[in-house]
Amino acid sequence: MKAIVLTLFVLFNLPISAQKVYAPKRIKMSQGFGVNAFEWDFEDAKNSIVIDKHLLSAMKSFTAIRHYMDWEKLETIEGSYTFNPTGSGGWNYDALYESCKNEGIEVLACLKTIPSWMQATWPKDLRDAENVPVKYGKSFSDPNSYIEQAKVAFQFAARYGSNKKVNTSLLSVNSKPRWINDSVNEVKVGLSLIKYIECDNERDKWWKGPKAFSSGKDFAANLSAFYDGNLNTMGAEVGVKNADPNIQVVMGGIAKPDVNYLKEMIEWCRKNRGYHKDGSINLCWDVINYHYYTGDDSSPTGGEYGRGKAPELSNAQRIAKEFVAVSRQYAQNIPVWISETGYDVNQGSPLKAIPIGNKSAELTQADWILRTILLHLRNGVDRVFLYQTYDANADLVGKFSSSGLLNANTTRKPAADYLVQVNKLMGNYEFDKVITNSSSPVIVENYKQGAKKIYILTKPTENGSEISYTISLPGLKRAMICIPRSGSDVMSSKTVSLTQGKLTVTVSETPTFILPIK
């Protein structure tokens, strides 16, 4: 414990980016509409080589996906790489990523779990796909222990990144057909389909014991191999940046959103990777990433007991501000993402959204999800990915089983309706500021696109109440009031007249959007 305290003390006294002043972030509303997804959300398992048009149409509800990508699919046999078709499942990742690019859906490829051949190196009683990604017996603290993962990351980045000059002699695929007339893998390079890759998922798995838990410093060692082959010491075919310097490496989202874990990672980089010429620490990730579900905060991650909470009543804002502050202070203001958040609707789940007044649990889920997005964007979080596309099993009472945003028949739930409507109204608008009013609990946000402005008013409660609020819009005579609604592609709207540049509206727990009309 004393050593940890000393480390954090040293970190907080580093004369680095804490001295810099950064321009305000320009965060677009559309950056809040990501979702966690799988390849089968795009490709039918019965014909996994092609994109299913109906599935793709449903996925257009979102502006980005976090693609859960099991390492096993890319490297079913050690040293033998597959992408189209994948060795496990026979999926076509080329088609998946190309369709996303064509539809303007950004992809975060999350390389997670360990393949069966790596699990086999562990004793039988310790085998688990979510173990620390090393062969059994290797040190968790040595970047070289993670060479296998860093090699598959190189192969992936070389194929789907933007660098067309990768040495093809370093690339390989398993070109053996599975059956007669089967399509086979081919070496491809610089397809320009992926900009972001994430190193594993929730590496701080304390609930699975030492075999699956990485400390902050051990995860930094892992990332150093994954990022650039530990400062290019592990071979030309190791690490994302050695395949494509333009791909952004996203640190694996941590389950417990504790900035001390991040600080421990930064301190490892200071000691082991040193500094850039500008005095900043040579980090081995480009994006900070954490998870948070707004439930009962008496547990480390929230949501172990009771029910979900309206985001403003949880620790979500405090946590977001802490991560953004560490980024500004010690990490050159690199982006901060939350890649998992959301609510269940099954009333047996400790993360459930609840019925409020005449609203069903699904309608409350829609309100809280939209407000969760707004909360994070206004506090400097650059992207939000919701969990998840479809219900895992809506009948289960456990966490995360009924958190889907789409129905099994690919229609949208109310939460997805809200995302589509807001994105259509103002996806390219950027967050500007919160307008403070000490006499009212209403949260008033201003977004802008050039000279155009939109105001968003929200009552941050969870009791179904409403409140009257007067907003000042000097020099204007009219405004349009828009409110999200279930079962529609567009919000309900009405044009109203202002009185001496002022507009009084009734604000509820569903955000109200006001568009000034000149």
Instruction: Tell me, yes or no, whether 263 lies in a domain.
Output: yes
- pLDDT of 14 strictly over 50: no
Instruction: Tell me, yes or no, whether 463 lies in a domain.
Output: yes
pLDDT score, position 386 = 98
Q: How confident is the model at residue 2 (pLDDT cuts 50, 70, 90)?
A: very low
pLDDT score, position 10 = 45
For the ranges 70-84, 140-154, 177-191, 366-380, the lowest mean pLDDT is seen at 177-191
Task: For residue 448, give the CATH number of its domain.
Answer: 2.60.40.1180
pLDDT digits over 422-454, tens only? Answer: 999 999 999 999 998 888 999 999 999 999 999
pLDDT score, position 192 = 98
pLDDT exceeding 70 applies to what percent of the chain? 94
Cα 282 to Cα 413: distance, rounded to the nearest angstrom: 43
- pLDDT of 17 strictly over 80: no
DSSP letters along 150-205, please?
HHHHHHHHHHHSS-TT--GGG-------SSTT-------------SEEEE-S-SB-
pLDDT score, position 296 = 57
Among 258, 274, 291, residue at a domain's last position = 291
Question: Among all chains, which residue has been given the structure tokens 């900009």?
Answer: 195
Number of domains the chain contains: 2
Pairing of strands 502-507, 467-472: antiparallel
Instruction: Tell me, yes or no, whether 183 lies in a domain.
Output: yes
Helix ranges restricted to H, 342-408: 361-378
pLDDT digits over 399-423, tens only? Answer: 999 999 999 999 999 999 999 999 9
Pairing of strands 430-435, 443-449: antiparallel
Among 258, 291, 324, residue at a domain's last position = 291
Cα 286 to Cα 382: distance, rounded to the nearest angstrom: 13
Instruction: Tell me, yes or no, whether 467 lies in a domain.
Output: yes
Cα 369 to Cα 451: distance, rounded to the nearest angstrom: 28
Cα 405 to Cα 386: distance, rounded to the nearest angstrom: 9
Q: What is the mean pLDDT of residues 495-503?
A: 95
Cα 153 to Cα 110: distance, rounded to the nearest angstrom: 10
Domain that holds residue 465: 433-517
Q: What is the mean pLDDT of residues 120-147?
A: 98
- pLDDT of 323 strictly over 90: yes
pLDDT score, position 355 = 98
pLDDT score, position 21 = 86
Tell me the three state secondary structure of residue 35. strand
Instruction: Tell me, yes or no, whether 413 lies in a domain.
Output: no
Predicted TM-score (pTM) of this structure:
0.94
| Displacement of CA 172 from its chain's centroid (Å) | 30
pLDDT score, position 277 = 94
Question: Among all chains, which residue has been given the structure tokens 């007044």?
Answer: 357
- pLDDT of 304 strictly over 90: no
Q: How confident is the model at residue 305 (pLDDT cuts 50, 70, 90)?
A: low
Q: How confident is the model at residue 381 (pLDDT cuts 50, 70, 90)?
A: very high
Cα 43 to Cα 63: distance, rounded to the nearest angstrom: 18
Tell me the three state secondary structure of residue 369. helix
Instruction: Tell me, yes or no, whether 111 lies in a domain.
Output: yes
pLDDT digits over 215-251, tens only? Answer: 999 999 999 999 999 999 999 999 999 999 999 999 9
pLDDT score, position 446 = 98
pLDDT score, position 298 = 47
pLDDT digits over 331-368, tens only? Answer: 999 999 999 999 999 999 999 999 999 999 999 999 99
Among 240, 269, 291, residue at a domain's last position = 291
Q: What is the mean pLDDT of residues 452-470?
A: 97
Instruction: Tell me, yes or no, whether 199 lies in a domain.
Output: yes
Q: How confident is the model at residue 159 (pLDDT cuts 50, 70, 90)?
A: very high
Residue that wins the pLDDT comparison between 298 and 138:
138
Tell me the three state secondary structure of residue 111. strand
Per-residue CA distances from 288 to 81, 144, 291 (Å): 28, 23, 11
- pLDDT of 294 strictly over 90: no
pLDDT score, position 129 = 98
Instruction: Tell me, yes or no, whether 277 lies in a domain.
Output: yes
Closest among 380, 409, 264 to 317, alpha carbons compared? 380
